A and B are shown apart, each in its own frame.
Chain A
Amino acid sequence: MGNTVPPLSPEEFASRFAEIHPALGPQAAKVEATRCLFCFDAPCTLACPTHIDVPRFIKKIATGNLRGSANTILASNILGLSCSRVCPVDVLCEGACVMHGYNKQPIEIGRLQRHAMDYFYSHNPSLPVAKAHASGRVACIGAGPASLACAAELRRRGYSVTIIDKNPLAGGLNTYGIAEYKLRPSDSKKEVDLVRGVGVEFRLGVEAVPESLEMEFDAIFLGVGLGSTHNLRIPGENLPGVVDALSFIAQYKTASIPVGRRVAVIGAGNTAVDAATAARRLGAKQVFMVYRRGESEMPAFDYEFELAKLDRIEFHWWSLPVKIHGKDSVESIECVRLDANLAPILNSNFQIPCDMVIPSIGQTRLVEFLSRCRGVELRSGCVVVNPETGQTANPKYFAGGDCVNGGREVVDAVAMGKRAGAGIARKLEANHG
């Protein structure tokens, strides 16, 4: 790469990626908890894909029963810690809070949940371990949120579960793919350890082979997520200095990676924002986001867009990259302006000088792998399931998470994994009649 910035010292890294939502102190948490109205059949609970009983866990904070509060959260959502940090709460629980109609100040559900989870993880974090009484062994492919939730649900019901993942660390995108200021690998590890603690086995650094797993296990859960970032399919994308967003995020979080002085991020989704803000915080002097549509079409949450603006990211709307220039490495990216119909405008080409290009235009589907799972039906590259049970067209296979929904939130993956876990348990019970 041409111009790179010097790497950060560990102290600088820690301060630039400090957690974006500071923890609530015990007193503040109590005051906030007492503000909750304790709605019946609460809209926040309904708005949460995992249906955490929000008023119940909040009232337990108010009464000083933090252990009970954490257990309430974990009973519905085994990844309560990461969800409290990464959930887009303003479109989920907090968005549904009745306080919007009262004094316009929704209860800070996310931070309260984090308060309870932080207590739990600093005070003997463990859950009761169910005896392996139920006959039936289950494999979960992928060690991300969907599989962790599915595995925990099955263990709770007494089944033996093995999680298989090709990466050396479990946790999936929670470990490798979320901006450091939202979630650290160490937090993700805590949750993996909790799941391990209830008796789930892990086979890490291992490629899953559906054919042999089918022989070994009675049911298989596919929680494989999505594939690598889509290619830009433009000249120059193999130049040194082009790094896809997910690799970039995984490397800066779990190892280190050189960062250009000027960085162009292609795309405007939540992952693109994660990559752009990370590049800035890692020292890039200028970071551009290049998106083929306008600001109002931007797929990232409003909240993420605000973060990007706070980090002084510069935006090129209605711009489509057509070529990456550079001799030995990236020197600039050439774009063409698009009109409202996404048609290129003649002679509107312009160049953005940069040292690094980070494509973030969505992930491929793992069609090849999924096709090897016999009888599993795909639609547009996504696994087709019964939404209530997670069961696929092959009754032995279940699925959930990004490989089913094409890429949503952690909490969606947890909800699907949990439902599939229950679905698998029902199927195995039926098998043994």
Chain B
Amino acid sequence: MADLTTLFAGKIRSPNPFWLASGPPANCADQVMRAFDAGWGGAVWKTLGEPIVNVSSRYSSVDWNGQRMMGLNNIELITDRPLDVNLREISQVKKRYPHHAVVASLMVDSKREAWHLIVRQAEDAGADGLELNFGCPHGMSERGMGSAVGQVPEYCSMITEWVKEVAKTPVLIKLTPNVTDLRHIARAAKKGGADGLSAINTINSITGVDLDTLVPRPNVDGKSAHGGYCGPAVKPIALHMVQQIAGDPEVALPVSGIGGISGWRDAAEFFLMGCQSVQLCTAPMHYGFRMVEDMIDGLSNWMDEKGFRTIDDFRGRSLPNVTEWKHLNLNYKIIARIHRDKCIGCDLCYIACWDGAHQCIHIEGFKNPEDLVAASHKRITVTDVEKHAGNGAHITPSIRIPRVDEHECVGCNLCWLVCPVEDCITMERLDVGVAPQSWEQRTAAPK
């Protein structure tokens, strides 16, 4: 049976690696305790600081193909509750849930005393760790906080140092992705003495414009402001940034992965890229705390199936499999194979290859897609006099099943990606009989 217990940065313990990220679901004690009851292993409290005033509305989303909230954007600021209330509630939660992780997210003015004070207050309340919010990209950044700090390596180092002067618990720096190279900020955090990193915070975004009012969303009395983007849409960006810092020998810090994680599969991928814990916000906002059940269950089952007892057994295993393009094997050759018995005849692979790839998938008897369509258009169709619907057995007419020209196929994967049927197109390796050779090797000047 898989063991999901987690020890982050050698000090923060939690029954599993699934933490609520600092945000609306971790706004108050009631929410955090309900989340722990539902199975969450930890929570990063909604950022503490000088209370602010929020606007309404605050969220907007990108829907895709009938699905809601593929991406979520927010312009909500840090906590709007008095500091003493938050601190009291953190104490309450820690008393009732001593084995769960409660990390306090912090953001105050860039003054040494202010940071010293809030660090002491959070630790006195019982926080297991501190997460410095250097990532929030909207609102607070205009006031010189959040990503305004996280975008300047020197500020990042300096404030981390101030915090480390008084902190007794692990200090995590939450990184903003709104920089050209995240590694510079991560290295600065390391230099300042950080014990870990949380990545990524939200990405600067405008989700869309209302085509009736012409006002971007979310609409605040006829105006909008850029917000922070998160949700499933940002996962690939987050995964890449996590790989960048987790794979950087100059950083070498524990990472808590954040960004579009919606289920156990996403979480497993972040662990494979080296994360010690993961944080979620959009998914529990969308479906409620109950969604953690399948994260625990799914990850445990997968680990059992693969023979991993603990997360450390597979953590970081995919990092060595990310390399630079120049090291990829140029002599590795795959081609697409269409399995005729599985093809349903949608011909999406055909048009994708013609219009979006290398014109190497063909329909027998036609020179190009235009000829095929013209021929179809000319066909005279008459309602079948055999007036009975099919008996349910679907046989794809062989004329509709495309053929791959294996000599021309470059193995780009596009047809396989567009094919709606599992295992209908497989990408298969061709033995080219040549030793592996990378671009770097090929271009190395022969001596």
Contacts and interface: CB of A to CB of B under 8 A. Distances in A.
B379 interface: yes
B66 A101 contact: no
**Residue from the set A91, A300, A411 with the largest chain B CB neighbour count within 10 Å:** A91
B380 A387 contact: yes
Interface string B377-392: 1011111110111101
Contacts of A45: 376
Contacts, number: 99
A307 interface: no
Contact of B421 (A47, A102, A270): A102
B390 A100 contact: yes
Contacts of A102: 344, 420-421
A296 to B, nearest CB: 9
B65 A299 contact: no
Interface of A is mostly: helix
Interface string B186-222: 0000000000000000000000000000000000000
A98 interface: yes
Interface stretch (A30-38, A112-120, A173-181): A30-38
Interface stretch (B134-142, B345-353, B426-434, B438-446): B345-353
A81 interface: no
A303 to B, nearest CB: 7
Given A49-B381, A90-B389, A40 B347 contact: yes
Given A46-B381, A102-B420, A302 B348 contact: no
A388 B380 CA distance: 8
A88 B383 contact: yes
B369 interface: yes
B382 A49 contact: yes
Contacts of B390: 95, 100
Contacts of A90: 389
A304 B385 CA distance: 15
B394 interface: yes
B121 interface: no
Given A51-B377, A102-B421, A412 B369 contact: no
B372 interface: yes
B400 interface: yes
A40 B387 contact: no
A41 B347 contact: yes
Contact of B389 (A40, A301, A419): A301
**Residue from the set B381, B384, B385 with the largest chain A CB neighbour count within 10 Å:** B381
Given A88-B387, A95-B389, A102-B421, A40 B381 contact: no
Contact of A409 (B373, B383, B389, B421): B383
Given A31-B66, A46-B381, A98-B344, A41 B388 contact: no
Contacts of B345: 39, 43, 98, 101
A231 B347 CA distance: 50
Contact of B384 (A91, A99, A387): A91
Contacts of A88: 383, 387
Nearest to A299: B387
B396 interface: yes
B372 A41 contact: yes
A379 interface: no
**Residue from the set A30, A102, A300, A387 with the largest chain B CB neighbour count within 10 Å:** A102
A172 to B, nearest CB: 17
Contacts of A299: 387
A405 interface: yes
A37 B346 contact: yes
Size class of the contact patch on chain B: 20 to 34
Interface in A71-129: 88, 90-92, 95, 98-102, 104
Interface string B396-416: 110010000000000000000
Contacts of B384: 91
Interface string B27-53: 000000000000000000000000000
Contacts of B348: 37-40
A88 B388 CA distance: 10
Given A102-B420, A299-B387, A409-B383, A40 B392 contact: no
Interface string A377-388: 000000000011
Contacts of A99: 344
A349 B403 CA distance: 62
B217 to A, nearest CB: 16
Contacts of A92: 383
Contact of B394 (A48, A100, A411): A100
B369 A40 contact: yes
Interface in A52-83: 62
A363 B380 CA distance: 25
Nearest to B350: A40
A16 to B, nearest CB: 26
Given A39-B346, A101-B345, A411 B383 contact: yes
B389 A39 contact: no
A30 B382 CA distance: 30
A415 B369 contact: no
A270 B392 CA distance: 22
Contacts of B346: 37, 39-40, 98
Interface string B227-247: 000000000000000000000
A131 interface: no
Interface string B139-180: 000000000000000000000000000000000000000000
B389 A91 contact: yes
A82 B351 CA distance: 32
Contact of A101 (B372, B376, B388, B396): B396
A387 B394 CA distance: 30
A408 interface: yes
A270 B351 CA distance: 40
A23 to B, nearest CB: 19
A301 B389 CA distance: 8
A62 B66 CA distance: 8
B174 to A, nearest CB: 36
B131 to A, nearest CB: 39
Interface string B328-350: 00000000000000001111101
Nearest to A34: B66
Contact of B373 (A41, A100, A388): A41
A408 B383 contact: yes
A2 B4 CA distance: 83
A406 to B, nearest CB: 10
Nearest to B346: A39
Q: Which 7 A-B pairs have the closest CB atoms?
A: A34-B66, A101-B344, A40-B351, A100-B394, A101-B394, A40-B347, A39-B346
12 contacts: A34-B65, A43-B345, A45-B376, A48-B381, A90-B389, A91-B384, A91-B387, A95-B389, A302-B387, A303-B389, A415-B380, A415-B382
Interface of A: 30-31, 33-35, 37-41, 43, 45-49, 51, 62, 88, 90-92, 95, 98-102, 104, 270, 299-303, 387-388, 405, 408-409, 411-412, 415, 419
Given A51-B379, A303-B389, 12 more contacts: A35-B66, A41-B347, A43-B345, A90-B389, A92-B383, A100-B390, A299-B387, A300-B387, A301-B387, A301-B388, A408-B382, A409-B383
